Structure 1
Amino acid sequence: MERQNSYRGLLKIPGLFRLILAASLSRLAGCMFALTLVLFVLAQFSSPALAGWLTFGAIVPGLIVSPAAGVLLDRVGPTIAIRINMIASAVFIAAISFAGWAGWSNPPILFILVILFSLTDPLGAAGTRTLLPRLVPHHALGRANALDTAVYAIVNVIGPAMAGVVAAWLGPEAAMSMIAAVYAGAAICLSNVQRLPGLASTQTCFLRQTIEGIQMVARQPTLRGLAPTYSLYQITWGALNVVVPVFVADHYATASSSATGLLWAAMGIAGGAGAIFAGHMRVIGRERYVMAAGMVVTALAAWPVAAEFGFGGLAIGLMLASVMSGPIDVALLTLRQRCTDPQQLGRVMSISMSLNRAGSAVGSAIAGMVITESLTATFVLAGIASVGAAIATVSIPPDTAPAG
């Protein structure tokens, strides 16, 4: 296959455009669901506490079963695994919508449905990034990861906005039905993507392969180093998720929601632009340095830029951190893919991505405690986490990832 030197050329790779489109629709539906579930529960039960617990139920079970989900991904192949996630998500969310329309929704039924939804989520989240290195030639992998990351950043902006508009206009039940349809559309788009077989043996015990995946992350020096490194970096974003709305509310109480929404939208666009830029960089072989440099800039963006120079400083700091997130994420994905045995890539991706999400949750929890004492201290916390992540990144042994 001839070298692809542009994003347009990249999309000529058989199956790649369909995969990116399917992944974009699936992620759009997932972003919409996160907000719509809260709106649905508030409309049905007027209970913020129940909404919080159901959101917990839609996330945490998937994190717990991620090692087993990774084994399934490696055994059946990424194409089938992603399709299972999309079809299952469409079915369970359609069931939530139907229960709402029919007046059958109650907390036990909703908990069962959101937990079932959560259990297949690692298949879709890790599946796309397991399939990419098998569809794309090695020299184009960095650019493919950049395109995937950029689309993800933009979808994170569009999804909640669409969910809010549809729920306000047609009601949360109709929004749930729309989300189910988007998942179904994603599964249809994936139907023309080459069905790649699983690389892991089906003769080996499922439990043994699950343990092997955990051991792979724990023992392989690069993967072991990346787990705490990127989780530390995600603490920064977990803290910012809490402190930014509070900072804006303290300074612009009458328009805090609008200002916060505009900030997050601009951040999503900046993150997408950063990822596209990263696709033009020579990332392969220099991933650790790209990540460390981006994390140092992120730390400075959190403090002092965002914390000490008013709303203008906050906006500049957040844009800077968002732009840096693109190269950091692209370098992370590329390094993980390079240093992992293809037979175990699904397990490694599933486990690693779950650990990263835990980092964000920890950051938000710590920020929630610190922010009652000081806004500035919360920004400092966010900066320290990124500095720690940068130090951990350059400490990863440089010769543990094969050039591929």
Structure 2
Amino acid sequence: MEPHNSYRDLLKIPALFPLIIAATLSRLAGRMFILTLVLFVLARFSSPALAGWLTFAAIVPGLIVSPVAGVLLDRVGPTTAVRIDMIASAFFIAAIALVGWIGWASPPVLFVLVMLFSLAGPLGAAGTRTLLPRLVPSGALDRANALDTAVYALVDVIGPALAGLVVAGLGPETALSMIALAYAGAAICLARIQRLPGLASRQASFLAQTIEGIEMVARQPTLRGLAISYSLYQVTWGALYVVVPVFVAGHYEAAVGSSVTGILWSAMGLAGGIGALLAGHLRTAGRERHVMAIGMVVTALAAWPVAAEFGFGGLAIGLMLAGVMAGPIDVALLTLRQRRTDPQQLGRVMSISMSLNIAGFPLGSAIAGMVITSSLSATFVLAGIASVIAAIATVTIPADAKATT
């Protein structure tokens, strides 16, 4: 009988259960924070523009420093790096709540605290997925990635709803305090995980290793191919996030339409979690490129014609289908990237690659915003084409792991 052949057996691996709990708490806190920050700023300053810029400040600085964060991950080890992120996040969000309560929450103060929060973000985001290959046997890695991906899908459903309820009932300062406590709880869970040392050599300078990490992702065919194909796939989701609310608004009044849109995204998130857990039983190792390509083609068909041409029912079915496919795609992506990366360089690769992957999302939203004024159907076609091109890019990734060296 193969060990770890079920998710229950997988969680018996020492340190994996506290890592999953820590990841759930921290990701839930992060998902709640963005919405809570927007609601906090709107309540205090009644300024959508300020809310938008603070949201920008909560995300972009972390993306910019991701190559540096990757070097730190490889040098100090993923356990320490993730703990730094959890503690720093708890501290800075608690500080935002405090300045709100005592009346010091001016825009400059908020910008400083939010940017400091953002800078530590890549350590936690990439650190968890750097820890997994060092905690679980290689044969169970795809299932561990499936469980990790399902956690992301779960918090996508729960996080915004929970943030809205707490802010409405108790106020944004209380919500921020709860988010800080969630990060602190994640840091406590990490205390149960053994400290894994960094594997990168310290003979080279920090700057040299940062540049090496960027070159590594740019030059290795597998890593470069994954960055390109998944970014193109994210163009689809960026476009869908724009076109779906517009589509729904054409069928319902504004108040009802907002609720329907939220329900659709929540249902899609649940579908993504189910898809991820099912993907853990597929044994994707060695077949990752095919799983990703098939999932991307199905996503393209879900966007057009299913979602675009068959009314509201088609939209709902298309989104559920795309959500189910997102799970296997993400699991295969993580497993292939981890399998073909030197453990000494995994922190840098994960940190840089995850930042590059996000780039397609805002690009898709921006293009959709321009196309949608001319044609709703054309926007869905755009989303589908992006996934088809992503699938083509995926199958061109070298099949032989030696091609990445």
TM-score normalised by the chain length of structure 1: 0.98
Aligned to 1:147: 147
Q: Deviations over 1:148-205 (max 9, x none)?
A: 0011101111000000000000111111111001100110011101110000112320
Matched, 1:171 2:168: no
* Whole-angstrom CA distance in 2 between matches of 1:160 and 1:42: 16
Residues 222 and 401 of structure 1 are in contact (CA less than 8 Å); yes or no, is this contact kept in structure 2? no
* Whole-angstrom CA distance in 2 between matches of 1:279 and 1:194: 25
Pairwise mapping of residues 182-261 of structure 1 onto structure 2 (< 5 A)? 182-254=182-254, 255-261=256-262
* Whole-angstrom CA distance in 2 between matches of 1:401 and 1:103: 59
Equivalences, count: 403
Aligned to 1:346: 347
Aligned to 1:270: 271
Deviation at 1:367, TM superposition (A): 1.1
* Whole-angstrom CA distance in 2 between matches of 1:309 and 1:397: 38
Q: Tell me the amino acid that sits aligned with residue 234 of structure 2.
A: Q
Q: Deviations over 1:227-281 (max 9, x none)?
A: 1100000010111111111111111125101101110110010000000000000
* Whole-angstrom CA distance in 2 between matches of 1:269 and 1:401: 37
Residues 297 and 321 of structure 1 are in contact (CA less than 8 Å); yes or no, is this contact kept in structure 2? yes
Matched, 1:329 2:330: yes
Pairwise mapping of residues 121-140 of structure 1 onto structure 2 (< 5 A)? 121-140=121-140
Residues 130 and 349 of structure 1 are in contact (CA less than 8 Å); yes or no, is this contact kept in structure 2? yes
Aligned to 1:371: 372
* Whole-angstrom CA distance in 1 between matches of 2:269 and 2:359: 21
Matched, 1:302 2:309: no
Aligned to 2:159: 159
Residues 221 and 403 of structure 2 are in contact (CA less than 8 Å); yes or no, is this contact kept in structure 1? no
Residues 62 and 120 of structure 1 are in contact (CA less than 8 Å); yes or no, is this contact kept in structure 2? yes
Q: Tell me the amino acid that sits aligned with residue 333 of structure 2.
A: L
* Whole-angstrom CA distance in 1 between matches of 2:237 and 2:383: 7
Q: Deviations over 1:82-108 (max 9, x none)?
A: 000000000000011001101001111
Distance 1:68 1:336, change over 3 A: same
Q: Return structure 1 stretches of 4+ with deviation > 4 angstroms.
A: none
Aligned to 1:88: 88
Q: Tell me the amino acid that sits aligned with residue 147 of structure 1.
A: L
* Whole-angstrom CA distance in 2 between matches of 1:224 and 1:73: 20
Instruction: Provide the alpha-carbon RMSD of the alignment.
Output: 1.2
Residues 37 and 51 of structure 2 are in contact (CA less than 8 Å); yes or no, is this contact kept in structure 1? yes
TM-score normalised by the chain length of structure 2: 0.98
* Whole-angstrom CA distance in 2 between matches of 1:114 and 1:372: 34
* Whole-angstrom CA distance in 2 between matches of 1:372 and 1:111: 34
Matched, 1:380 2:403: no
Distance 1:402 1:192, change over 3 A: farther
* Whole-angstrom CA distance in 2 between matches of 1:88 and 1:205: 25
Residues 338 and 401 of structure 1 are in contact (CA less than 8 Å); yes or no, is this contact kept in structure 2? no
Q: Deviations over 1:42-86 (max 9, x none)?
A: 011000000000000100011100000000011000000000000
* Consecutive unaligned residues in structure 1, runs of 5 or more: none
Deviation at 1:401, TM superposition (A): 5.8
Aligned to 1:63: 63
* Consecutive unaligned residues in structure 2, runs of 5 or more: none
Residues 157 and 269 of structure 2 are in contact (CA less than 8 Å); yes or no, is this contact kept in structure 1? yes
Distance 1:339 1:402, change over 3 A: farther
Deviation at 1:365, TM superposition (A): 1.2
Deviation at 1:358, TM superposition (A): 1.2
* Whole-angstrom CA distance in 2 between matches of 1:207 and 1:80: 20
Moved more, 141-150 or 362-371: 362-371
Distance 1:149 1:165, change over 3 A: same
* Whole-angstrom CA distance in 2 between matches of 1:249 and 1:188: 44
Give the secondary structure class of the aligned counterpart of 1:120: helix
Distance 1:401 1:310, change over 3 A: farther
Q: Tell me the amino acid that sits aligned with residue 6 of structure 2.
A: S
Residues 243 and 368 of structure 2 are in contact (CA less than 8 Å); yes or no, is this contact kept in structure 1? yes
